[in-house]
Structure formats: structure tokens, C-alpha cells
A and B are shown apart, each in its own frame.
Chain A
Amino acid sequence: MRWLSKLRLRVRSLLGKPALDRELDEEIRFHIERQIEENVAAGMEPEAARRAALREFGGVEPIKEECRDARGVTLAHDLVRDLRVGARQFRRSPAFTAVVVLILALGIGASTAIFSFIDAVMLRGLPVRDPDELVVLSWRARTDPDTRLSMTGGDCNGLETSPMARVRGPGPGAAGCSFSRPFFDQLRDDRGLLAGLTAFGNAPPLLVSGHGSPQRAYGQLVSGDYFAVLGVGAALGRTLDRGDEQRAAPVAVLSHAYWLRAFGGDPSIVGRTVRLNGALFTVVGVADPDFTRLTPGNVHDLWLPLSVRRLIDARWDQIYEGNASWLLTLVGRLRPGVPAAQVEAAATVAFRGNVLGAEGPLLTAADHPEVRVAPATSGLTGARVQYRQQLLVMSVAVGVLLAIACANVAGLLLARAGSRRREIALRLALGAGRGRIVRQLLAESTLLAVAGGALGALLATWGVEALVAFMSQSQSRPLGFDVAVDGRVLAFTALVSLTVGVAFGLAPALRATRVDVASTLKEGALATSGVRARLGAGLVVAQVALSVVILVGAGLFLRTLDELRGVDPGFRTENVLLFDIDPTLAGYPPPKIDALYRELRDGLADLPGVTSASWSEARLLAGAGWAATLRLPAPARIVDVDLLRVGPGFFQTLGVPVLAGRALSAEDIAAAPAGGDANANGTRTAVVNQAFARRFFPGRSPLGEGFQFDGRGPEPTWQIVGVVGDIKYSELRRDVWPTIYVPSQRRGVAFEVRTAADPMRLVPKVQALVARLAPDLAPTDVKTQSDEIDRLLFRERIMARLSGLFALLALALSCLGLYALLAHEVARRTREVGIRMALGARDGDVRRMVVAHGLALTATGIVLGIAAAAAVTRSLGAFLYGVAPTDPVVLASVSGLLLAVAFVACYLPARQATRVDPMLVLRSD
């Protein structure tokens, strides 16, 4: 029963503190009065008795304190009292508190903002029911399977071996997560294996018409039980079901965001029909708003049943449903009681049956094909892979910034603790334990940190909004991540605030309580706390060193961006308007496409303000391009080249110089009656770039030479009729590769329009022209070439901006830290300065003394910082372009900048020091 009375006591202690305090008072008072009685009875005078009793008892307060401590629940009460006292302190010096809270808010806010991105991109789970039960299938083999067609939906980036890197024959092995339709059907029919299995793949480009002007949309083809397996419901109407796979009338489900964006959230959309690439579809529902995507970053506007592919894809063939076409990603839900290993084994058996025994086997037994099953939350990587490194770099930068902020605030608190020396000494003398006072100072610093954290969370919300807006501007598709400062992120903020509070509060608190009580209480204005000064100086040096790291990083990113922008792309990028158009989506036959392109080109050239126009099957500097494998004669070899299919006037429009021979003419490009790629004469003409000529025909002219595409059977010969200047095709970073230019094959194209003035002003006229010539089509992704390049450089731009911002903050904080330290030192050492001046030192000498001290600290910090930066920036190698991680120009500029800023920070305290009146100081001692 001991524990029961103990519990009672503890509860009483916790809740009934005032009452217990009164009791303690009374108990002690009783003792003293009893002693007084005793003394009087022994013959003392009442007054003497009282004094004797009190003296005998000893210090009442410390004893009371010990009794309270013995009760063991004083911690909570003390904390509350400490916080109240702390709050009172801060009210008394609002300016100081405001500065400290602001500094902390910047550091914590930046950390919160970056964490919310990390949370949204890397940590957040799948927005489906019971995501831990979902698994994604992948295959592995010693060599690349001999598939007819293999496409990736970008669902398992990082796992898949790149098609370009695939090697025939034994190699490092191949892997992927695309499977064939028969394999999916077979696995799905095995009822006992999984609770559900669904397959999906990206839909071809979609043109949505029949509802306002035609627009592009991005869809996903899914099996009927997609929504059922994932456990996603409908916000409106219904989602897909198994029956939709066989239904005669095709149906579609819209995503919630797309429904709001394209249809204005119109609830009557359910049951209405739209045309997708000309085929009629019925919209049966809108998905739940929380279901933005399955694979991170892959946002789709609508979901269609797998069976409708032949309706919307002109190039679809039945053969793509066979064993040799691997187009589907498979995600399944585990059945309780059936472990993943069992699913793996069964799936591997089925997989082997599929690929080994197929007509024209895709793999041999020696290739060890197998299927792996991985949790979907980690297996579906999507866009995470491309953001991972940037987020890592930003985390480090933000961590450094937070460290600087902590060091800064620690320095400020240290200086202020100096002015509270007396108060602390008094408390120590009165018997307060050192631990108590440290606890109170820590409570104060934590209070500051929490206030800073709250303000920081607010700043982070704005910051995140601005960043997301900036990022959305640069993409044509929705971001694919919901970045927000939500509950999880706020929990992180709270954790960081508390940690920060202890981190920057501990050293000053410990330092502040290590006072020599007697001398502090007796002292005059002079206090030589050398250790505190050293600690303060150390903090400033640390801040400067950390600032160097951030500044160097920012400098490298800025230089990289600068270098990339300075790369000569080989063509004139200014004043070019781009837009995409794809008549195949509206079912145009080839002759109609030819006619349309011709009319469009003529119409565009006729517009006032347009210099020339052309088209090509890929935009330049858009991050992607076509490639081809060629067979060259004399000496016979097989080479990989870049390929671009272009329309007439391409080189002229883009300003690419023709160095030899001629460009492709309109006749070259017009179709032959026989179809195929030959022109009217039956010959096939191509143009190559200078890199091609130099690499494959060194020392001679390639004009007149022939080549063939490397295909399965006999291929026609192409003739080279011209050599053009090198241009950067898909990327600025990539070296110029041998490139061939051949006539466009009537696919969807990008039009390039060179204008005399601002291209965007022509957009309405261009749209009107397209609407007139092809009312069932729409120009999409309308941008200038400069915008396209900006989009290409998006990663570098955002890194430069963010690191630049952090660098500015770090610089400001270091400047503030140095100023505060010097100002405090000057104030502290007025006596010493006065004596020096009395002894003959002049203003200049005093100023020099202060500035020299400040610059010495800065220089030390710079040296340490450069060493640290050299170690850190080494890992940035992949990001940088045109600048080495230890670029001397950057290092020198950063050092110079810091010294200049430090000089400014020293100036005011230096001037302040000269204002000391030596006579006043000497007399006041």
C-alpha cells in the first residue's frame, strides 16, 4: 500500500502546490516558535530567544527549497515559474528580444521550408488506403530481354537500367518494372496470390475536344480494378471497374484537379461526353481530391481503361498486347497470410514461363530472369530520384544557416549574460543551486526559441508558397507534390525549436553561472571575464567560417548558372516563339498534315512582325531529343548519332549557319507519292552537322556520301547534301554530338517562329491562325525559346536563388554577430581604452585596435571556412559547370566580401571607442 499513499502524495504535490507550501510554512513556523518557547523557558529574554531560535534554525528558504525538492514534482512548477520570469525579462528589453527572435525565425523558418519540401517529395506516403499493403513488381535478368517494345512510365526511376545503357550479351544486368499484358492477365487470374493486382501505363498524348477549345491532357491507361486495388473512391459519379475493360462505349475518370482546372468544377460533367483524340468518351466520374497521384511526381489528368488504347493511338497495333511488348507497371495488394516472398516465387515462375517459352524467346534460362516484389511506398520512386540530390544540398545549406543563427544568438545571449552577472551572483549567494539557475536560463532560451519557431513557421509558409509558385511557373504540368506547412512539418519545427533553444542556451547558461560570487558582488565596473570573451570570439569565428561555406556554395552555383547561360548554343535564341501541334491526335491523314503544315508556315510568315517560321519534331534545348544508329560505309561502322527531323527553313529560322552544300529544301521534305521518307526524286537527303563531318569524315567533305539507318532488314541509303554548324541540341551541358537532320515525318511537331520583336505579343495572332486553319487542333505549350532555356536551367536557377538568399542571410548574421561582439567589448573595456588614451593613444590608434581585432577574428574564420568549404564543395561536382569546386575566383571574392562587411561591422564600435573621455573614466573608478 506504500505506492498508494505515495501516489496520493504525488498527486497532491502536483495539484495542490499552494496548499502544500502553506503547510510547509506552518510546519517550520511551528518549529521556530516551539524553540522560542523553549529558549524563554530556559531563561532567555523574548527578543534574544527569538533571535537565537532563528539563528539556530538556519536559512529558512534553502531548507524550504530542499523540502520541496524532496517532494520530487517541483520540476513542472519550476518550469512554469521559469517561463514566467523569462517572459518578464524579455518584456523589459523588447529590442533585444525582437532581434533574437527574428534571427531564430530566419534560421528555423528556412529549415522548416526545406523540410516541408523533403516531407512532400521524399517522406510522404501514397495517398491510398493502407499503403503498406501495396507492392510493386520488378524484373531482373542478366541481360536485356529481346522485347519488341518496352516503355517506362517513370515509376521506378533509379531501379531501371537505361535503355541507352543496355548491352546485348552478358553485362552488369538489366532491370525494370514494365511487364507484358499476358503476364499481367496470368498473375491477376491467380486468385489466391494477391488480394488484388492492377496494371497501368502512360497514355499517348491526348487532345481533349468537344468542350471549349481543344486542349492537351495527360492520361493514364489503367486496368479496371485500379481504383479498387488502391482503395480510392470517387468525389463525383464513379471510378472505373472491371466491367469497363470490356465495355463497348469507352469511359473516362477525371482527376479532381483536372476537373477543376479544365471544366471549372462543373458537377454536370458526369455523364457528358468528350472527344479524346477524336474518339468519343463518356466521363463517368471524378476521383477523390486527395488522390493526386500514385507515383510521386507523375500527375495524370484522367484515367482510361487499358482496352481503349486502340481508339486513341493511331500507331497502336494488336501486337502490342503480346508477350514481347512490356508497357505496364504492376501494383498489387498483399493478401493477409500470403507473404511477399511467396508472391515473388509464384510471380517468378509465371514470368519465366512467359519469357523463356515464348515464340522467339525473350530471355534464356541462363539469364536468370526473376521477379522481385517491393513495397510500393519505396518502390515507386518517380520524380523522387531527380529531386533527391538537390534536397540534400539544400538541407546541408539550411543546416549551416541554422548553426550560424544559433551561434549568433548564443553570442548575443552571452553578452547579455554579462550584464546579469550581479543578479546571478546574488542568487547563488542566497543559496540557489547552480543547476536551478542553469535550468532557468535554459527555460528562457527555449522560450526565445519557441517564439522564433512560431514566427519561423509563419515565414516558412510564405516562403513555401513563393517557392511553389516559382516552380509551377517553370513547369507546364502541375508540380506533383503537395508542399505545405502542415501538422507533420510543424512538429518538425517544434522539435527544431526546442533543440535549438537548448543548443544556443546551454553554453551561455553554464558560462553565466560560473561566477566568482564574492568578487562579482564587490566589483566595480571592471570585469575581466577573459573566458567569456574567448567564447564570444570563438562564436564569431565559427559564424564567419560557416558563412564562408554557404557563400562559397552560393558563389559556385551562381557561376555555374552564369557559365551555362554563357554557353553558345550555336543558333540565335532570342525572339523565337515555340508551340507544339499534333494533328495525328485529331486523326489527320498524312496528306492533310502536309497541307496543314505548309499553310501554317506560310500563314505565320505572312504575319506582321514575323521574320520566318519552320518546324521540327523536337524543340531545341528542351532537355530531350531523338537519337539513331547508323551504318556508315568506307570504313564500315555502326555509330550512334543524334537525330532531328525538320521542316523547310529550319536552319534559316533558327540562325544555324550552313557551312557546306545546302540546307534541306521544301522539295526534299515534301512527300513522295510512294510514301515513306523519299522525296519526289526517290532519293533521300539529309544534312549533318560539323561534329559529324569531323568525326566520321575527317579531312574530307561528307557531301555526297551515303549512310543507312541500322535496322533489322535492308535499309535505303540516304545522301548527305549539306553540313551545318554545330548546335546544342537537347542540353547545354552536353557536348555537341554528331547530328543528322532529315525531313520531318508528319508527326506532331514544334513550330519555331522568329519574330522581329517580343514573340509573346504574337501569341493571339498565332492562336487565331491555328484556329482558322485547324479548328479541331490547338497550339500547346506556347513559349519563347528563351523561356524554354530557362526551363532547362530550372534546377540551376533555383539552386542559385536559394543559396544566394541563404548566403545573404548568413552574411547579415555574421555581420551582426561581429558588431555585437565588438560593441560589447568596447563597452566592457571603456576603462582600459580611457587609460590608453590618457597615456597618449590617439583616436586613430584606438580605432585601429578595434578594427584590427575584428578583422583578425574574421580572417581566422575565413581561413577555417575555406578549409571546410573545400571539403564540402567537393561533393557538388555533378552540379557545377565551368567552375571547379575550389575555384580561386569564388574563394577570393568571398574572402574579400567578408572582410569588407567585417570592416563595416567594426566601424561603429571603433568610432564608439574613440568617444571615451579618458578623464571621465579615470575619475569614475
Chain B
Amino acid sequence: MSKSSDLVQGTVDLLILKTLALGDMHGWAIAARIRSVSNEVLQVNQGALYPALHRLEHAGWIKSSWGESENRRRAKFYALTRAGRKYLEQEQATWERLSAAIALVLKSVPG
């Protein structure tokens, strides 16, 4: 999959951070959780997921550690950092403002 556009990239980041706010988990679990919480609507492609995870870790919003997964295998778990938590709050507020504004525009009646 080619490089995502900025908007999509930002959205994936937000979803990942929010998911991790609910608890530490590894990459597969994050994708599964997003799918289930959104009722199968949002399917995050691996081509977007893993680069996003590495990018977020590089930027310092999340941190990783190796641990044992639910099926007794070694997996890389990600967790939100404190800075990441703050960043999530900011981005969530921005997102809500943005989507409210879009909704207003879409609801406007011609004339």
C-alpha cells in the first residue's frame, strides 16, 4: 500500500492512541480492537498500522516492550506515554471540532 494521505495518516494515529489509552496491547490486538469497536467498519490495513506504530514510537507518544501474549508467544506490546496521553487529548479535541464543523457544512441547506 502506498503512503497514505495526511488526513488518513492522522486518523490512524488517533485510533491507535485511543485504543492504547484503554490498555497496553500488541499490533494485532490493536487492529482487532479497532475493528470490533467500530462494528467492522474501520479495518486498519497492516500497511498503515505498523508504520504508524513505529512512527508514533519514534515521535515518543507510545513506548514498546516485549512480553508474552495471550497465546503464549513473544509479542511486542505498545503503551501510551504520558506525553502521548496529552497529545491524544489535544488531537481528540481537534478531531471533534473538525467533525462538528464538517457536519454543519453538510447539513446546511442550499440558498
Cβ contact of A33, chosen from B1, B47, B50, B73, cutoff 8 A = B73
Cβ contact of B81, chosen from A2, A28, A57, A68, cutoff 8 A = A2
Chain B residues numbered 40-88 whose CB sits less than 8 Å from any CB in chain A: 45-47, 50-51, 53-55, 57-60, 63, 66, 69, 71, 73-76, 81-83
Q: How far is the CB of B3 from chain A (nearest CB, A)?
A: 8
Cβ contact of A63, chosen from B47, B58, B81, B83, cutoff 8 A = B47
List the A side residues contacting B59 at CB < 8 Å.
Answer: 6
List the A side residues contacting B69 at CB < 8 Å.
Answer: 30, 34
Cβ contact of B75, chosen from A1, A30, A69, cutoff 8 A = A30
**Bound complex: CA A5 to CA B55 (Å):** 14
- Tell me whether B28 and A35 are in contact (CB under 8 A): yes
**Bound complex: CA A478 to CA B76 (Å):** 74
Q: Within 8 Å of chain B (Cβ to Cβ): is A67?
A: yes
**Bound complex: CA A125 to CA B107 (Å):** 76
Q: How far is the CB of A70 from chain B (nearest CB, A)?
A: 4
Cβ contact of B46, chosen from A3, A6, A37, A57, cutoff 8 A = A57
- Tell me whether A5 and B60 are in contact (CB under 8 A): yes
Q: Within 8 Å of chain A (Cβ to Cβ): is B26?
A: yes
Q: How far is the CB of B53 from chain A (nearest CB, A)?
A: 8
**Bound complex: CA A392 to CA B76 (Å):** 64
- Tell me whether B58 and A31 are in contact (CB under 8 A): no
**Bound complex: CA A37 to CA B45 (Å):** 18
List the A side residues contacting B57 at CB < 8 Å.
Answer: 9
Q: How far is the CB of B24 from chain A (nearest CB, A)?
A: 15
**Bound complex: CA A63 to CA B50 (Å):** 7
List the B side residues contacting A63 at CB < 8 Å.
Answer: 46-47, 50-51
- Tell me whether A31 and B46 are in contact (CB under 8 A): yes
Highest count of chain A CB atoms <10 Å: which of B1, B50, B83: B50
Beta-carbon nearest neighbor of A68 in chain B: B54
**Bound complex: CA A70 to CA B53 (Å):** 9
List the B side residues contacting A35 at CB < 8 Å.
Answer: 28
Q: Within 8 Å of chain B (Cβ to Cβ): is A23?
A: yes
- Tell me whether B73 and A30 are in contact (CB under 8 A): yes
- Tell me whether A67 and B50 are in contact (CB under 8 A): yes
Chain B residues numbered 1-30 whose CB sits less than 8 Å from any CB in chain A: 1, 3, 26-28
- Tell me whether A66 and B51 are in contact (CB under 8 A): yes
List the A side residues contacting B1 at CB < 8 Å.
Answer: 58-59, 62
- Tell me whether A58 and B45 are in contact (CB under 8 A): yes
Q: How far is the CB of A20 from chain B (nearest CB, A)?
A: 10
Interface digits, A20-33 against B, CB 8 Å rule (1 contact, 0 not)? 00010011101101
- Tell me whether A2 and B60 are in contact (CB under 8 A): yes
List the A side residues contacting B51 at CB < 8 Å.
Answer: 63, 66-67, 69-70
- Tell me whether B71 and A23 are in contact (CB under 8 A): no
**Bound complex: CA A545 to CA B53 (Å):** 55
Beta-carbon nearest neighbor of A57 in chain B: B46
Beta-carbon nearest neighbor of B76 in chain A: A27
Q: Within 8 Å of chain B (Cβ to Cβ): is A72?
A: yes
**Bound complex: CA A28 to CA B54 (Å):** 12
Chain A residues numbered 7-58 whose CB sits less than 8 Å from any CB in chain B: 9, 23, 26-28, 30-31, 33-35, 37, 56-58
List the A side residues contacting B55 at CB < 8 Å.
Answer: 70
- Tell me whether A5 and B58 are in contact (CB under 8 A): no
Q: Within 8 Å of chain B (Cβ to Cβ): is A592?
A: no
Q: How far is the CB of B4 from chain A (nearest CB, A)?
A: 10
Q: How far is the CB of B16 from chain A (nearest CB, A)?
A: 13
Beta-carbon nearest neighbor of B61 in chain A: A2
List the A side residues contacting B46 at CB < 8 Å.
Answer: 31, 56-58, 63
**Bound complex: CA A34 to CA B69 (Å):** 10
**Bound complex: CA A28 to CA B51 (Å):** 11
- Considering only CB atoms and an 8 Å cut-off, how many residues of chain B contact the other chain? 28
Interface digits, A48-88 against B, CB 8 Å rule (1 contact, 0 not)? 00000000111100110011111110000000000000000
**Bound complex: CA A830 to CA B106 (Å):** 63
Known: A33-B73, A58-B1. A27 touches B50 (CB 8 A): yes
**Bound complex: CA A217 to CA B53 (Å):** 80
Known: A28-B50, A63-B46, A67-B50. A72 touches B58 (CB 8 A): yes
**Bound complex: CA A31 to CA B69 (Å):** 11
**Bound complex: CA A57 to CA B47 (Å):** 7
Beta-carbon nearest neighbor of B56 in chain A: A70
- Tell me whether A70 and B54 are in contact (CB under 8 A): yes
- Tell me whether A30 and B60 are in contact (CB under 8 A): no
Beta-carbon nearest neighbor of A26 in chain B: B74
- Tell me whether A23 and B76 are in contact (CB under 8 A): yes
**Bound complex: CA A77 to CA B76 (Å):** 24
Known: A5-B63, A58-B45. A71 touches B58 (CB 8 A): yes
List the B side residues contacting A2 at CB < 8 Å.
Answer: 60, 81, 83
**Bound complex: CA A58 to CA B44 (Å):** 12
**Bound complex: CA A26 to CA B64 (Å):** 14
Cβ contact of A67, chosen from B26, B54, B63, cutoff 8 A = B54
**Bound complex: CA A58 to CA B31 (Å):** 15
Beta-carbon nearest neighbor of B57 in chain A: A9
- Tell me whether B71 and A34 are in contact (CB under 8 A): yes
**Bound complex: CA A23 to CA B1 (Å):** 22
Beta-carbon nearest neighbor of A67 in chain B: B54
- Tell me whether B60 and A27 are in contact (CB under 8 A): no
**Bound complex: CA A33 to CA B71 (Å):** 10
Beta-carbon nearest neighbor of B32 in chain A: A38
Beta-carbon nearest neighbor of B82 in chain A: A1
**Bound complex: CA A56 to CA B32 (Å):** 14
**Bound complex: CA A272 to CA B25 (Å):** 92
Q: How far is the CB of A495 from chain B (nearest CB, A)?
A: 33
Known: A35-B28, A63-B47. A30 touches B58 (CB 8 A): no
**Bound complex: CA A59 to CA B2 (Å):** 11
- Tell me whether B27 and A9 are in contact (CB under 8 A): no
**Bound complex: CA A59 to CA B58 (Å):** 22
Q: How far is the CB of A359 from chain B (nearest CB, A)?
A: 85
List the B side residues contacting A67 at CB < 8 Å.
Answer: 50-51, 53-54
Q: How far is the CB of B71 from chain A (nearest CB, A)?
A: 7
**Bound complex: CA A27 to CA B25 (Å):** 13
**Bound complex: CA A895 to CA B54 (Å):** 63
Q: How far is the CB of A309 from chain B (nearest CB, A)?
A: 77
Known: A2-B83, A63-B47, A63-B50. A70 touches B58 (CB 8 A): yes
**Bound complex: CA A9 to CA B71 (Å):** 28
**Bound complex: CA A5 to CA B60 (Å):** 7
- Tell me whether B47 and A30 are in contact (CB under 8 A): no
Q: How far is the CB of A46 from chain B (nearest CB, A)?
A: 16
Highest count of chain A CB atoms <10 Å: which of B28, B55, B71: B28
List the B side residues contacting A3 at CB < 8 Å.
Answer: 60
Q: How far is the CB of B38 from chain A (nearest CB, A)?
A: 18
**Bound complex: CA A66 to CA B1 (Å):** 10
List the B side residues contacting A23 at CB < 8 Å.
Answer: 66, 76
- Tell me whether A31 and B47 are in contact (CB under 8 A): no
Q: How far is the CB of A182 from chain B (nearest CB, A)?
A: 75
Cβ contact of A30, chosen from B53, B54, B76, cutoff 8 A = B76
List the A side residues contacting B47 at CB < 8 Å.
Answer: 58-59, 62-63, 66
List the A side residues contacting B26 at CB < 8 Å.
Answer: 27, 30-31
Known: A31-B28, A70-B54, A71-B58. A37 touches B71 (CB 8 A): yes
List the A side residues contacting B53 at CB < 8 Å.
Answer: 67
**Bound complex: CA A9 to CA B82 (Å):** 17
List the A side residues contacting B81 at CB < 8 Å.
Answer: 2, 5
Beta-carbon nearest neighbor of B75 in chain A: A30
List the B side residues contacting A30 at CB < 8 Å.
Answer: 26-28, 69, 73-76
- Tell me whether B45 and A34 are in contact (CB under 8 A): no
- Tell me whether A6 and B71 are in contact (CB under 8 A): no
**Bound complex: CA A71 to CA B66 (Å):** 18
- Tell me whether B58 and A9 are in contact (CB under 8 A): yes
Residue contacts A-B, CB under 8 angstroms, 5 given: A28-B50, A30-B76, A31-B46, A33-B73, A59-B1
Q: A35-B28, A37-B71, A67-B53 are in contact. List 11 more A-B contacts (CB 8 A).
A: A6-B60, A9-B57, A9-B58, A9-B60, A23-B66, A27-B27, A28-B50, A33-B73, A58-B1, A58-B47, A70-B54
- The residues of A with any CB-CB pair to B shorter than 8 Å are 1-3, 5-6, 9, 23, 26-28, 30-31, 33-35, 37, 56-59, 62-63, 66-72
